[in-house]
Amino acid sequence: MDARLQSHNLEFIHLDLLSRHKLKDAVKDCETIFHLAANPEVKTGSTNPETHYQQNIAATFNLLEALRKAGNNKTLTFTSSSTVYGEATRTPTPEDYTPLKPISIYGATKLACEALITAYAYTYGFKALIYRLANIVGPRNKHGVIHDFIQKLRKNPKELEILGDGTQTKSYLYISDCIEAMLIGIEKSKNQVEIYNVGSEDQITTTQIAQIIIKELGLKNMKLNYTGGVNGGRGWKGDVKNMLLDTTKLKGLGWKPKLNSTEAVKRATTELIAAP
């Protein structure tokens, strides 16, 4: 299904990236393309890996083919993921960390997309910016730990199930900080292909997130029920227990997040609770 909505300043095209034959016309007059489309549920990969293959790798390949056939030079901006690093032994983890050994199907598909984009950019002469994102949160989250906890607590305000052992420690970034990072990268990057980490400068545990949400909902006497998880307390197979990105490269362009992980989680929680 595809649909078009036009105004004086905007043309909106609702189009499936798996419909390859329709993409060429959609990209032909674009100077900058933001490729944000993907299946974001990391857990899905352990039970249905083909979903990630189709919606991440195949969709990216179709878009790249459309760019190739359109012919004129453009800038492609791609949202990758911190999961491409896998269980990094160095934190904060810089962009040049090796070897990249993702532990989830999701992370593997994002890394595959990075490789395809890099090769296409050099071969067919367009610019590519790859952003390896931490956990991005905001008022429109429809998945992820904040959304899941809020939904669980609305169903049962006395007990909260937490996948894993609660010690999973990660970086969370508010959406407006993420957008600013991407725009600065587009404005100031010089090389044909650039890779940037995008995340906050600190971390927060899953248990701390739960406590923030419980407080914002005004709940008392809450029982936290830890599932124990898999492989040493992970929430699911492929869940990275410790993630913190080194954002020195992006900060060198003049970017710095306004909110830390705790502030980002608290703001997103407040906004999601208030949403209709």
Phi-psi region of 71 (alpha: psi -120 to 50; beta: other; left: phi over 0): left
Which residues partner with 261 through β-bridges? none
Mean per-residue pLDDT of the chain: 93
Cβ neighbourhood burial of 230 (10 Å; 0-12, 13-18, 19+): middle
154-163 pLDDT per residue, tens: 999 999 999 9
Average pLDDT of the segment spanning 33-45: 85
Residue 42, both tokens: 């990391």
Residue 115, both tokens: 């490789």
The DSSP H or E segment spanning 204 is strand 204-205
Residue with tokens 């909260």: 160
Q: What share of the chain is helix, strand, coil (3-state, %, to 5)?
A: 40, 20, 40
Residue with tokens 């791609």: 78
CB 161 within 8 A of CB 232: no
125-134 residues labelled b (16+ CB within 10 A) or e (exposed):
ebbbbbbbbb
214-243 pLDDT per residue, tens: 999 999 999 999 999 898 999 999 999 999
Q: Which three-class secondary structure string do you get for 24-47? A: HHHHCCCCEEEECCCCCCCCHHHH
Cis peptide bond upstream of 92, omega within 30: yes
- Least confident segment among 12-26, 188-202, 248-262: 12-26
CB 128 within 8 A of CB 192: yes
Please check the confidence at residue 95 and state whether its pLDDT lies above 80: yes
Can you give the pTM of this predicted structure?
A: 0.94
123-155 pLDDT per residue, tens: 999 999 999 999 999 999 999 999 999 999 999
- Structural domains of the chain in order of their starting residue, each with its CATH number: 3-274 (3.40.50.720)
One-letter amino acid of 108: A
